[in-house]
Amino acid sequence: MSFTIAEIAQHINGKIVGDPNYIICGVGTLSSATSTQLSFLSNNKYKKFLSESKAGVIIVGEGLANSVNTNAIEVANPYVAYAKAATFICVDEKQLAKIHHTAWIDDSASIGANVSIGPNVSIAENVTIANNVRIAAGTVIEHDVSIAESSDVRANVTICYGSKIGAHVLIHPGVVIGADGFGIANDNGRWIKVPQLGSVVISDYVEIGANTTIDRGAIDDTFIAEGVKLDNQIQIAHNVKIGKHTVIAGCVGIAGSTTIGENCAVGGGSGVAGHLDIADGVQLMGMSMVTKSIRTSGVYSSGIPSEPSHTWQRNIARYRQLDKLFDRVKALEVTEKPQS
């Protein structure tokens, strides 16, 4: 598909500097884009590529068009504008409403208009699929699940019984929603299973990355609020609640019954212990380990950044001596205490 710069600028609410009738039919980086592609500058680190870029048009911040040797679109936030432009140019929202002949759909299921269901999909009893939903190959949807309009469920997803999926939700391959939470009780040295009787509620405009797992609640539901974005391979345990527009990077583990507030950001590889409360606006740097509730917004870190191996080994050896060093310093403080 191709679009004029004027059409793109109107879609992203930008100011054109150059030829509004110039045709664009794709996107590329500043260094690789061709004359028919759009590019963008959102990080000044890459400003050096502006003068040499062969892109047909470049999205830049306000007042930066003079730095470009081609057409430009000035906007307040180039990265957001690029996201909207790339979707406009490259993502075909149209779909062929087709139900593959190998799909199995229970007679009691309700299937809306313009729904696409791929090969070997299984849809159990009392499932409700709203209009314009896509369900890709190999997905399993258990009984009493509901999926609201315009959601996109990619291949080999499992949505367990009773789960509720909102509108415009994107679920990537391999996701499991609503498997049993890790509920066990110790009966005189023997572990017995605690029934997981809640469900999972996914609100509108949520994105769930590949192979992420979201467990059903033990009694109350596990809840993911509107606009949450989850990366790949995240584990969200039973009864967790995640507030609106929070983003969580890959390989994060969140233990049971923890609440994470709105507009939070959790860096990759972080761990959050159970039964904690994380305030709105908290940012956790990558590899952080949270063991206590965080009541105030801000940036929090833990973990040890990488360093040369010999330095790390020396520091770890010293770390093991901290108790003894503390005792020695404390003893010195006592012996040197001024006499009254």
pLDDT of 258 reads: 99
Superfamily of domain 3-90: MurE/MurF, N-terminal domain (3.40.1390.10)
The pLDDT tens digits for 292-334 are: 999 999 999 998 888 999 998 998 899 899 999 999 998 888 8
pLDDT of residue 91: 80
238 catalytic? Reply is yes
- Mean pLDDT, rounded, of the chain: 95
Report d(CA 238, CA 180) in Å as an integer.
8
One-character DSSP codes across 11-68: HHT-EEES-TT-EE-EE--TTT--TTEEEE--SGGGGGGTTT---SEEEEETT-GGG-
Q: Domain spans of the chain?
A: 3-90, 104-300
pLDDT reported for residue 338 = 66
**Which residue numbers in the chain have pLDDT < 50?**
none
Res 340: pLDDT: 56
- Burial degree of 52 (CB within 10 A; 0-12, 13-18, 19+): exposed
Among residues 11, 100, 101, 238, the one annotated as catalytic is: 238
Cβ neighbours of 228 (radius 10 Å): 24
CATH of 104-300, one of 2.160.10.10, 3.30.465.10, 3.40.50.10860, 3.90.700.10: 2.160.10.10
> pLDDT tens across 249-273, in order?
999 999 999 999 999 999 999 999 9
DSSP calls for 275-295: S-EE-TTEEE-TT-EE-S-B-
Instruction: Yes or no: say if 40 and 28 are a contact pair by the CB < 8 Å rule.
Output: no
**Which strands, in side-by-side order, build the sheet including 146-147?**
110-111, 128-129, 146-147, 164-165, 200-202, 222-224, 241-242, 259-260, 277-278
- Give yes or no on whether 3-90 and 104-300 have one common fold: no
How many helical (H) and strand (E) elements, i.e. helices and strands, does the chain have? 4, 38
